[in-house]
Chain A
Amino acid sequence: MLIIGEKLSIIAKRVREAMLNRDKSPIQEIATAQWKAGSGMIDANIGPAEDNGEDLMQWMVTTIQEVVPLPVCLDTTNFKAIESGLKVHNNQWGKPLINSTSNDPERFPILELAVKHNCQIIGLTVGKGGLPADAEERSSIAAEIMGRAMEYGLPLEDLYLDPLVLQIATSQDHAIQVIRAVKMFQEMNEPPMKTVVGLSNISNGCPKHVRPILNKHFFVMLMNAGLTAAIADANEIAEAMKEKQQIDDVLAGKTIDDAAKIAETKKTIDVITGKTLYAHSYLEM
Chain B
Amino acid sequence: MALAAPKETYAGRVFEVTIGTSKTAVFGGENVLPFHKFDGDTPHKPVIAFEIQDVAPEDWPDTVKEVYGDAASDPVKWALYCQNNLNAQAIALRLISTHPDRENRSADDAAKTVKAVLDSIEVPLIILGSNNVEKDATVLVAAAEAASSRNCVIGKAQEGNYKTISAAAMAQNHKLIAMSDLDINLSKQLGILITQMGFEKERMIADPMCSALGYGLEYTYSVMERIRLAALTQNDVIMQPPMLADIGMYVWKVKETQASEADLPKWGSLKERGIAWEAVTAGAMLLAGAELLIMRHPDAVRSVQKFIEEF
Q: Which residue numbers of A lie inside 8 Å of B, CB to CB?
A: 169-170, 172, 275-281, 284-285
Contact = CB atoms under 8 A, between A and B. Distances in A.
Nearest to B188: A279
A172 B193 contact: no
A279 B234 contact: no
B184 interface: yes
A276 B234 contact: yes
A279 B191 CA distance: 10
A277 B196 contact: no
A285 B193 CA distance: 10
A169 B185 CA distance: 7
Most buried by B among A172, A278, A285: A285
Sorted nearest first, the 5 A-B pairs with minimum C-beta distance are A279-B188, A279-B189, A281-B192, A277-B230, A280-B189
Interface of B: 183-186, 188-189, 191-193, 196, 230, 234, 236, 238-239
Contacts of B239: 277
A275 B185 contact: no
Nearest to A278: B185
A277 B187 CA distance: 10
A285 B192 contact: yes
Nearest to A167: B185
Contact of A285 (B186, B230, B238): B238
A29 B238 CA distance: 45
A46 to B, nearest CB: 32
B11 to A, nearest CB: 12
Contact of B236 (A277, A280, A281): A277
Given A277-B230, A279-B186, A279-B188, 11 more contacts: A169-B185, A276-B234, A276-B236, A277-B185, A277-B236, A277-B239, A280-B185, A281-B189, A281-B196, A284-B196, A285-B238
A285 B201 CA distance: 13
Nearest to B226: A277
A172 B185 CA distance: 9
A279 B196 contact: no
A276 B184 CA distance: 12
A280 B190 CA distance: 9
20 contacts: A170-B185, A275-B234, A276-B236, A277-B184, A277-B188, A277-B234, A277-B236, A277-B239, A278-B188, A279-B186, A279-B189, A279-B191, A279-B192, A279-B238, A281-B189, A281-B193, A281-B196, A284-B196, A285-B192, A285-B238
